[in-house]
Structure 1
């Protein structure tokens, strides 16, 4: 059985991921509506987003490292 703090961490992570994804999609839709065209995600944009996500995940993973 999973410890409660681990389960809570997974739930919080899932909720934060869901909300950030929804906000990103909403902002993308708003940008498309303002420019009155479809905003296309290029391969270069995909790589930029991927690197940014990995950077954020690395920062989150290192949050507790300095406290030991």
Structure 2
């Protein structure tokens, strides 16, 4: 059995990670909204996301979060 070292983040590291993660999340969200709006303008159709598409997006986002959570393992 191997020993695992316990690594703890300092408060400053946690704050930095949250600020960077929040900023990146906001930028990705803005980029997604921009692309959605551009497609709607180009096609001259209103944005209409079905419940099925919403569920697909939610599953994709949860999968991404799970991958990020297990990145350090």
Do both share a fold (TM > 0.5)? yes
Distance 1:40 1:63 in 2: 34
Choose from 32, 46, 58 the match for 1:24.
32
TM-score by length of 2: 0.84
Q: Structure 1: any 5+ residue segments left out of the alignment?
A: none
Q: Structure 2: any 5+ residue segments left out of the alignment?
A: 1-9
Distance 1:11 1:39 in 2: 31
User: Rg bigger for which structure?
Assistant: 2
Q: CA RMSD of the aligned region, Å?
A: 1.0
More helix by percentage? 1
Q: Secondary structure of the residue that 1:63 maps to in structure 2?
A: coil
Q: Offset at 1:39?
A: 1.8
- Which stretches of structure 1, 4 residues or longer, exceed 6 Å deviation after superposition? none
The equivalent of 2:21 in structure 1 is 13
